[in-house]
A and B are shown apart, each in its own frame.
Chain A
Amino acid sequence: AQSVTQLGSHVSVSEGALVLLRCNYSSSVPPYLFWYVQYPNQGLQLLLKYTTGATLVKGINGFEAEFKKSETSFHLTKPSAHMSDAAEYFCAVIPTGGGNKLTFGTGTQLKVEL
C-alpha cells in the first residue's frame, strides 16, 4: 500500500531559522502529495498539495515543498520560522488514480525557540 515516511518525529529550530520537514513516499508511480498542519486540539489545515505540473509548490503561511521524483521526496520548507509555526505537521498521500482516501505519515512536531 502507498505510504509516506516522515523522518524525525520532533524538529526544533530557532525563530528566524530555516524549517525543513522531511517526507518520503513509497511508490514507483508518483502519487498526489499533501502537507497538513495541526495546531493543538484542532483539526487539520491544508498547507499545500502536489498533483501534477510544477514541482515546487507554494502554500500558505510562507511554506513550500518540492516534489523530487528521483528522491521520492516531498520535503516541506520555510525560509524563516516564526513562533506561530509551532505545530504538528503531517505529510499525506493519495495514490494516483486511487480515489480520494488520504494516508497520513506519523507526523513531525515542530518546536520554534527564541
Chain B
Amino acid sequence: DTGVSQNPRHKITKRGQNVTFRCDPISEHNRLYWYRQTLGQGPEFLTYFQNEAQLEKSRLLSDRFSAERPKGSFSTLEIQRTEQGDSAMYLCASSFPGLAGLTETQYFGPGTRLLVL
C-alpha cells in the first residue's frame, strides 16, 4: 500500500534561495492538493490540480510560488527568493473523485518541513 510521498522531508535554506519540493500522489488519484501548515495552525489550502490542470490557487500563493503537475502524475512546488515567513510544513494530499454528489477524502503525505534562515 503506497501512500502519498513527499521529498525532501526537511529543507534548510538561506533567505533569497530557491527551493523545490516534490509530491508523488497515490497512483490512482487524479486530484492533488498542496497545503501549508505553520506552528499552532491547521493546514491551509494553497492550490489544487485535477490531472495536469491547476484549477485553483489560493491568495496565499504569492508570485514567488509556482506549482506544476506535468503529465498528471507527480507535482512540484517551487518557492523563489525564499523569505523567513515561508518557513512552514508543506503538505501534499491526493484524492480520487467520489461518486456523483459525494465529496472524496483527501489523503496526506508526510510533509516537507522548510526552514528559511
Q: Say whether A and B bind each other.
A: no
Q: Which residues of B contact A (CB under 8 A)?
A: none
Q: Which residues of A contact B (CB under 8 A)?
A: none
